[in-house]
Amino acid sequence: MEPVRLSKRMAELGLCSRREADEYIAKGWVRVDGVVVDVLGSKVLPTQRIELQRQAQAAQAQRVTILINKPVGYVSGQAEKGYEPAVVLIKPDNLWAGDKSGLRFSRDHLQGLAPAGRLDIDSVGLLVLTQDGRVAKTLIGEDSDVEKEYLVRVTGRLPPDGLALLNHGLSLDGERLKPARVEWQNNDQLRFILKEGKKRQIRRMCEQVGLRVVGLKRIRIGRITLGELPQGKWRYLRSDERF
C-alpha cells in the first residue's frame, strides 16, 4: 500500500479541494490519526483517518455557491473577445427576489469564485459559480457523473438512426462519448441529459447527425433545477440543497 500526498487524499475523500487542503495543512487545521499535520507535501496511507479541525469547517461553511440564469452574450469564465464574464451579473440589484438562502451579499463572496462547468456564449440557463472546492469536484471532477439537462431547439432533418446515435454512438476529439439520454420534447426541440461536458458538445453532436442548434438552455444540474430563476438574475445555493 503506497502512501499518497495528504492534500490529494483529502480531495479524494471529498473533504475539500487540493488547493484548500494545502491551505488547511499550512494553517495546522488538519489531523491525521489524531495528530496535527502542518507540513505541505506530507504523505499518508489510505487507511489513516483524516479530520478537519473546527477552523477549517468554519472556513468551509462561509464559502458560497451561486446559481445564475446566464443570458446569451456572457462567457462562463474569464472575459474574452470583448465579452464579459457571467460573474459581473453577481451584484446586489441582480439578486433574485425569490432567494431563500438567508444570506446577505458581501464583496467577500466574489473572492475565489469560479465556474463549475462551462456554458458557451450562445447558450442560456443554469450556471454554477462556487468558492467551495467540494462543489467543484462534485460537478467537474474527473470522476463526476452528475447529470446535466438541456432543452435544445434545432433545425434540419434527423436521419432514421440519428436519435440512436445521439444517445450512444458518437465520438468527439477522437474519444467515444458516454451514453446520453436524448429524446424529442416537441417538433423542433430535443431534451439532452449528459454526464460529461466537452466543449460545445451538444452543438457538435447535433452537427454530426445533420441538425443545427438554434437555441440551447441548461435547466438542471444534478438535483438543482433552474426553476423560476429569471434570466440575468442569480441566487445563493441554500444550505439544504445538494447537487
- Name the residues annotated as catalytic: 120
Helices 133-140 and 18-26: angle between axes, nearest 10 degrees: 160
Q: Other C-beta atoms within 10 Å of 81: how many? A: 6
**CA distances to 12, 173, 216 from 124, in Å:** 32, 24, 6
**Where would I find the beta strands (DSSP E) of 34-113?**
35-36, 43-44, 50-52, 65-70
Residues 6+ apart with CB under 8 A from 146: 138, 139, 195, 221, 222, 243
Is residue 167 within 8 A of residue 205, CB to CB? The reply is no
Q: Which residue has the cell 468558492?
A: 131
With 0-12 CB in 10 A as exposed, 13-18 as middle and 19+ as buried, what is 31? middle
CA dist., res. 67 & res. 127, Å (int): 6
Beta bridge partners of 193: 149, 181
Report the C-alpha dihedral over residues 101, 103, 104, 110, rounded to 10 degrees.
Answer: -100
